Amino acid sequence: MSNTEYRRQKASRRVSGSRLLHHSILGVRYWIFAVVRTARRWMSPFPLGLAMLLGWAGAAQADLVMRLALDEGEGAVARDASGKGHDGAIRGATWAEGKVGKALAFGDGQFLEVPAKPSLTLAKSFTLDLWICPSAVDDGRNHRVLTMFPFPGPAEHRTGWCLFVNGRERPKSLMFIMYHASDGQARGTAVGWYGALTANRWYHVVVAYDGRRLQLIVDGTVVDAQDASGEIESAGPLRVSDQAA
């Protein structure tokens, strides 16, 4: 798999996949899925089934917030290679083959959880970059993919953010919603990709927020963008998958 198969968007311009961060183990190249503090820094892989690593093209190791390779292939802990100590506890998910290397597959009530820490909070800007392979997209339920809401508790607390597969409405869609403070009020902004989602297919998904605009990018194409400003209200752990509702 060539680096140049993938393109990412940095701010409002595209960058070549050849500039993306990766690492190799025994000759196998792993893409990077990262959670980072600013929208200028990139992350990448993951499925529902799931596989992920964290990083940014050209970013120094010190700039990474989290880097989960999910290359352990066994055990109940996903190790963070960023040095920040954001290891994830695997709750019921099973190891599987990923887009590249290993992945985690999730059923109902199964998730990976990274405990809440100030260093994991994404307030002013961020980029989420991942591979997903949803096993269901049209079953009348919503399936969380990546979430930072306060747990336990409902999403109606109006804090945090969530990437999820919306199987309740027509057309079926991939949605991202975040709650942010703007003009002294709590506001929700959502972006979505409607009608094209297919089960058991891998998608490269990027969500980018730079303090001015929220974008959803699927397989290198900006599929939706909305103006947004202010700091993100987020609390609680970071969870991958978690539940269907």
DSSP code of residue 57: T
| Residue 93: CATH number of its domain | 2.60.120.200
Domain-located, residue 12: no
pLDDT of residue 143: 82
- The per-residue pLDDT for range 81-131, each reduced to its tens digit, is 788 889 999 999 999 888 878 888 888 888 999 998 888 877 778 888 888
| Beta strand pairing call for 13-16 and 111-114 | unpaired
pLDDT of residue 119: 80
Report helix, strand and coil shares of the chain as percent, to nearest 5: 5, 45, 45
Domain-located, residue 40: yes
Domain-located, residue 226: yes
pTM higher than 0.85 for the full model?
Answer: no
The whole domain housing 41 covers 17-241
Using the CB atoms, write b or e for 215-229: b if 16+ within 10 Å. bbbbeeeebbeeebb
Domain-located, residue 221: yes
Cβ(143)–Cβ(244) below 8 Å:
yes
Average pLDDT over residues 66-87: 86
Domain-located, residue 3: no
pLDDT of residue 225: 96
pLDDT of residue 151: 53
- The per-residue pLDDT for range 158-198, each reduced to its tens digit, is 678 889 988 777 677 899 998 876 655 667 889 999 877 88
- Our count of domains for the chain comes to 1
Domain-located, residue 198: yes
Terminal CA-CA length for the chain: 36
Q: What CA–CA distances, in Å, run from 45 to 5, 114, 152, 227?
A: 14, 17, 27, 26
Structure-token pair, residue 36: 């980072």
Q: Is the peptide bond before 184 cis (omega within 30 degrees of 0)?
A: no
Domain-located, residue 10: no
